[in-house]
Each structure stands twice: as C-alpha cells, then as structure tokens.
Chains A and B, each alone.
Chain A
Amino acid sequence: MSRWRWSVSALVLVSASAVASPTQDYVLNCMGCHGATAEGVPGKVPPLAHTLLQFMRSPAGRSYVLRVPGASNSRLSDVQLAAVLNWIAGNFGSVTLAVSTPPFTAQEVAATRHTPMASLRATRREVLKELAASGPAPSEDY
C-alpha cells in the first residue's frame, strides 16, 4: 500500500471516532448531485471521478476545489471535508496519480475554503489552462 493510501486510512481512522465515515459524508453531501460513481451529469454537474485528482496536482487546482460552493458552503467540518475529498480521490481516481498527489489536510481546508472566488468561471478557466500545460487535465467545457 502506498504512503498516500496509508495517510488517507489514518485520516479516516482519526475522524471515524468523532464523525460519520467519509463514505456516508459523500452519500449525504455530494452524491445527490455528483452521483453514485461521481461522474456528475454532462453539461449540468461537473464530474469528480478522475478530475478531482487532476485538480489536486497543483496549488491553484487545490485551492479551486476547496472554494467551489459545494465544498466551501457544505456543513462538513474541515476534517470531514478533507477526509471526504481524499476518499473521492482514492475511490474514483487513477491509482498512478494518487500515489504522487498529496492528500488534503484539515489545516489546508481551514486556510482555504472561506476565501471567496471573485468569478468561479474565470478562476476555473485559468486553473484548467495551467493544468493542461503541465499534464492531464479536465476538458475545457468542464
């Protein structure tokens, strides 16, 4: 098992004593829109499967993910939000990318999620351009 997977498991264990599992947090807070397999709805709801890990590759991408309304406004605590994002990346992402991508931490979530975005679309456009220049990235119509 990779170091990344160990750290995700540790995060899950730490949080499990106080809160529901990331699986249940995903079901109750994300699945309604993003779907059971995190594929989203084409043209309506962006997918998380595979693409979340791509965003997690760069600081701008990580910041974008933590500031989108579904994440920043969710009722999940910083610990829960970090755990559920890492759970999504681990369950609906590429194993190769997962090994080299650091997981989210509660500290990173707390420091980022409450900084509003002036324009979600403009920020997303810039992030996608940056990701595309450095490797695999979500499509432009994401």
Chain B
Amino acid sequence: MHRLDRIFEQSSRSLAQRTSRRSFVAVLGQILTGSLLLPLLPIDRVSRAAAASLEPDAAPPPPAHKSPATAAHQAGSDDPQSCDYWKYCAIDGFLCSCCGGSSHSCPPGTAMSAVAWIGTCHNPGDGRDYIVTYNDCCGKTSCGNCGCNRNERERPLYRLLRNNDINWCVANADSNYHCTVSVILGLAEKDQK
C-alpha cells in the first residue's frame, strides 16, 4: 500500500512539473468560446428551401412543437414546418406539412378547397414578391399540428376576400377543415399593400 502511494505521488509530481495549469485554462477557454460562437456563423439555407419547395408527397414526421410568431418573420424561415416560412406570410390554420401533406399539397384523404384566398408574400431570399394562394384541405377534422396565425396584409371580416379567418372549405362537398397549404402562383408585378 505504501508502495502504491509512492507511485501515485511520483506520477502526480512529474505531471505537475511537465504541464502548465495556465495553458490548460487558456486552451479550455478557447474551446468553450469557439463552441459558443459556432452557431452564429452564417449558413446558406437557400438550397434547403428549394429542396423543400420540391418535396415529394411523402408524409414528413410531425414536429414536437409549434413555432410562435416572432421577429423571425422578417428574416423569413425556409422550413415548411415553421410558421416563419416566408410563403406563409398570411396563413391562419394548421400547416399541411405537419399533417401528412406538404407545404403545397393536401394530405391523403382530403381535398383542396374549391375557393381560396390569394395574396402576396415577400421572399427575403431574393427580395421579390410572389403571388401565393392559401387553400384549405377539406374532408377530415382539424389536424391540430403546427397551428399558425400570421396576418400580414389581412383585413377585417367585412373585407371578406382579404380576411383569413374564413373556412375556405365552404364551397366543398365536405366542408370539414383539416389544414392549409400555400401554393406559389408566380411573381407579383408590384407590391400589393
């Protein structure tokens, strides 16, 4: 036992003589600072957005949370399952991309609404305005996932065609509302206020 103590004592003294505690603290500080700054580096998400707009009809996994309305709207997310996605600028309802469909196609078992609300959304990625149609998907009860309520350029109910509280399934045979898609129709000629 006495011998074991002596071995540990010698190795500890040898390590203390060969290494600097100050340099260890300096290296540890660099690693910690670097790992904190890494997420702040700019990342190009344009290619991911393009891929998202061409996503197949396969059902994506539902997210565990709903995205709240934040200042990120101005930044324009590219995530089809986020309320901050730029083409959802005036959406009010559940995202079909969280309900077994995609950002522009209805989930199986539902039908796209015959009538829709059409507006424009600004894409911060290229600085242009796009004409977007919001169609409800009808024929099932409410999906309940990814509820969004963004009201850019929305108007009160007496401006029926500019209000997004309407159930656009009203003209379908089955008027049960399930979720909402956002389909890009093309470039807008000018910004519509």
Q: How far is the CA of A77 from the CA of B114 in the complex (A)?
A: 27
A 73-104 binary contact with B (CB < 8 Å = 1; else 0): 11100000000000000000000000000000
* A20 sits at the interface (CB 8 A): yes
28 A–B pairs (Cβ distance < 8 Å), ordered by A = A20-B188, A20-B192, A21-B189, A24-B131, A24-B188, A24-B190, A27-B118, A28-B118, A28-B119, A28-B131, A32-B133, A32-B161, A33-B115, A33-B161, A35-B114, A41-B114, A41-B171, A44-B115, A44-B170, A44-B171, A45-B115, A45-B171, A69-B160, A73-B158, A73-B159, A73-B160, A74-B161, A75-B162
Chain A interface extent, by class: 10 to 19
Chain A residues near B131 (CB-CB < 8 A):
24, 27-28
* A15 sits at the interface (CB 8 A): no
- With beta carbons under 8 angstroms apart, the residue of A20, A24, A32, A45 that contacts B117 is A32
* A29 sits at the interface (CB 8 A): yes
Q: How far is the CA of A74 from the CA of B189 in the complex (A)?
A: 19
Q: How far is the CA of A31 from the CA of B132 in the complex (A)?
A: 12
Further 9 A-B residue pairs, CB within 8 A, beyond A32-B161, A33-B115, A75-B159: A24-B131, A24-B188, A24-B190, A27-B131, A44-B115, A45-B171, A73-B158, A73-B159, A74-B161
- Tell me if B's interface is mostly helix, strand, loop or mixed: mixed
Which residue of A has the minimal Cβ distance to B120?
A28
Q: Tell me how far the C-beta of A59 lies from the nearest C-beta in chain B, rounded to whole angstroms.
A: 27
Chain B residues near A35 (CB-CB < 8 A):
114
Which residue of A has the minimal Cβ distance to B170?
A44
Chain B interface extent, by class: 20 to 34
Which residue of A has the minimal Cβ distance to B134?
A32
Q: How far is the CA of A45 from the CA of B114 in the complex (A)?
A: 10
Q: Is B192's CB under 8 angstroms from A32's CB?
A: no
Supposing A20-B192, A29-B161 touch, asked if A41 and B118 sit within 8 A by C-beta, the answer is no
Which residues of A (24-59) have their CB < 8 Å from a CB of B? 24, 27-29, 31-33, 35, 41, 44-45
* A116 sits at the interface (CB 8 A): no
Q: Is A32's CB under 8 angstroms from B118's CB?
A: yes
Q: Tell me how far the C-beta of B145 lies from the nearest C-beta in chain A, rounded to whole angstroms.
A: 25
Q: Is A20's CB under 8 angstroms from B162's CB?
A: no
Chain B residues near A27 (CB-CB < 8 A):
118, 131, 185
Q: How far is the CA of A45 from the CA of B115 in the complex (A)?
A: 9
B 149-187 binary contact with A (CB < 8 Å = 1; else 0): 000000000111110000000110000000000000100
B 34-78 binary contact with A (CB < 8 Å = 1; else 0): 000000000000000000000000000000000000000000000
Q: Tell me how far the C-beta of B43 lies from the nearest C-beta in chain A, rounded to whole angstroms.
A: 34
* A136 sits at the interface (CB 8 A): no
Q: Tell me how far the C-beta of B68 lies from the nearest C-beta in chain A, rounded to whole angstroms.
A: 28
* B116 sits at the interface (CB 8 A): yes
Q: Tell me how far the C-beta of B84 lies from the nearest C-beta in chain A, rounded to whole angstroms.
A: 23
Chain A residues near B162 (CB-CB < 8 A):
75
Chain A residues near B189 (CB-CB < 8 A):
20-21, 24
Q: Is B190's CB under 8 angstroms from A20's CB?
A: yes
